[in-house]
Structure formats: structure tokens, C-alpha cells
């Protein structure tokens, strides 16, 4: 069956965003990936999608720079038109930043950076793109398993992701009458380059985390990507306002 849908995945030049873009493309979805300036990395994601027979394009977007949203929206509309559509079916808000440290080390600038990107940027991007999603669109916000369990020196990051989950539930109620679903996906410990690639490269950390996970290991990016792509399918079209944790049973 031919799938005529288009997704936009923020921060899809690497990590979980790239995995989500590839998983969506594997299911026949056209994918627009955004990057903050890492054009070469973004192009590699586009090439991977195309090599697998999918359709993709890359656009630059810094979600902390609200004045850039208007020109970005114009570029987005132009790309959609090239693909013969005027609507967006799936928005995956993956782009985010993590700054970690104990209470006494966190600065006001650290706090503002995390909140500006993870909360403010996510909220206003949904506001900007909602008109393109009306009538069956789906917003998936990437959160973290840290909203359920605790870990040292993660207070600001965890708070930002808890805010994302609260936004998701409230916007699900607000946008539901317009046919838009809103859910959040909360990855657990995953082997990506996030936070300096610690969970990918630090064998001791991986062993410690694996021992606190029901399935006995840390996750892989493609497993998070598959979960996001599955949530976006029509088979789960009656699911909204939900937090879906993809953690292998971490910290139960």
C-alpha cells in the first residue's frame, strides 16, 4: 500500500533524530529533516534515506531562534509544494539540549539554554506548524525516562522534559478538535552521542545501566526510532495524550 505522508523530524542530522527519520522513511513516509547548521551530517541522513529507496530533504532550523521560524516556514512550504502537497502529517520534536551538573554548578545561562531549546522552542514550533497539521496530523515530542526516575545532576534537563510531557497532554486536548494527535516518547538509556556519547562509549556506564534495566542492556537508536515511527502509524490513530516510555524497563 502506498503511503502518502510527510514527516518533519527536528535534529535529525544524528542520534535519535536520524534513527526516527530512517524508521519513518522505511515505512514509506517522506521525511524532512532539520539541523542547526550541521549540513554535512544532515546530508548523510538524506543520503541514507534515499539509498534505502525513500524520499528526504534537509532544512536548517535552530529552534531556539524564534525569529528564524518565519523564513523556515516559507522554505518548508516550498519543499512541500515540490513534493506535491501542502500539509504536514507528522512532526517529531526531537531537537534538544542537555546541560548537566549539580545544583551549585548550574548557571542561569545553563538553565535558560535548556529551557529555551527543550521547552520554548518545542512549544513555538508546534504553534508555527499546527496550521499544516490540521485534519489528521500527529505531533510526537521526545521526552526522557528521567521524568519518571531520578539521576544525579540532571535536575534542569529532567524538569525541561517534564514540561514537554505536560505540554503534550494539554495540547492533545486543545488540538484534538482539529484532528491533531499529540503524544510523547520517553527514551531510556540509549547508546547515542548525546551528552558526549557517554552511554555509547563508556563501557563501565553501559554495564551499570544494563544492570538496572529489565532487558539487561542499554537501548540502540534504531529501537527508539522504530517506536516513534510505530506510534505515528494509522494503527495507533486512537492514541493521544500519552507518554510512551521506550527504556527496556529501566529503573523499575
- Does residue 111 belong to any structural domain of this protein? yes
- CATH number of domain containing 115: 3.40.50.720
- Does residue 58 belong to any structural domain of this protein? yes
* Residue in the structure block whose three cell numbers are 492533545: 172
CA–CA separation, 120 and 214 (whole Å): 34
Choice among 19, 157, 184, 225 that is catalytic: 157
- Cell, residue 215: 532487558
Could you report the per-residue pLDDT of 140-163, keeping only the tens digit for each? 999 999 999 998 999 999 999 999
- Does residue 247 belong to any structural domain of this protein? no
- Does residue 249 belong to any structural domain of this protein? no
- pLDDT, position 194: 59
C-alpha closest to that of 144 among 129, 157, 155:
157
Q: Does the annotation mark 157 as catalytic?
A: yes
Q: 3-class SS at 77?
A: helix
The answer to whether residue 25 scores a pLDDT higher than 80 is yes
Burial readout 118-147 (b: 16 or more C-beta within 10 A, e: otherwise): bbbbbbebbeebbebbeeebbbbbbbbbbb
Domain count, the chain: 1
Output the CA torsion sign for 188, 189, 190, 192: positive
Count of residues in the chain: 252
| Domain span at 130 | 6-242
- Does residue 252 belong to any structural domain of this protein? no
Could you report the per-residue pLDDT of 174-208, keeping only the tens digit for each? 999 999 999 999 999 998 765 555 656 677 878 88
Amino acid at each position: 500500500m502506498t503511503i502518502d505522508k510527510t514527516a518533519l523530524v527536528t535534529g535529525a542530522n544524528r542520534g535519535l533524530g536520524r534513527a526516527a527519520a530512517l524508521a519513518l522513511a522505511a515505512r514509506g513516509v517522506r521525511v524532512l529533516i532539520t539541523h542547526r547548521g550541521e549540513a554535512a551530517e544532515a546530508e548523510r541522513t538524506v543520503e541514507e534515506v534515499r539509498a534505502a529507496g525513500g524520499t528526504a530533504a534537509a532544512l536548517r532550523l535552530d529552534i531556539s531562534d524564534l525569529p528564524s521560524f518565519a523564513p523556515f516556514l516559507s522554505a518548508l512550504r516550498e519543499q512541500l509544494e515540490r513534493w506535491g502537497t501542502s500539509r504536514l502529517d507528522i512532526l517529531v520534536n526531537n531537537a534538544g539540549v542537555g546541560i548537566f551538573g549539580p545544583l551549585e554548578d548550574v548557571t542561569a545561562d545553563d538553565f535558560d539554554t535548556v529551557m529555551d531549546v527543550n521547552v520554548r522552542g518545542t512549544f513555538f514550533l508546534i504553534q508555527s506548524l499546527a496550521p499544516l497539521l490540521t485534519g489528521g496530523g500527529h505531533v510526537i515530542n521526545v521526552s526522557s525516562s528521567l521524568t519518571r526516575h531520578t539521576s544525579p545532576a540532571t535536575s534542569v534537563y529532567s524538569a525541561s522534559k517534564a514540561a514537554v510531557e505536560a505540554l503534550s497532554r494539554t495540547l492533545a486536548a486543545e488540538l484534538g478538535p482539529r484532528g491533531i494527535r499529540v503524544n510523547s516518547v520517553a527514551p531510556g538509556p540509549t547508546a547515542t552521542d548525546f551528552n558526549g556519547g557517554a552511554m555509547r562509549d563508556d563501557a563501565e556506564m553501559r554495564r551499570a545501566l544494563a544492570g538496572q534495566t529489565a532487558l539487561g542492556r542499554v537501548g540502540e537508536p534504531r529501537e527508539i526510532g522504530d517506536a516513534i515511527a510505530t506510534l505515528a502509524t494509522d494503527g495507533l490513530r486512537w492514541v493521544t495524550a500519552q507518554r510512551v516510555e521506550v527504556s527496556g524497563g529501566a529503573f523499575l
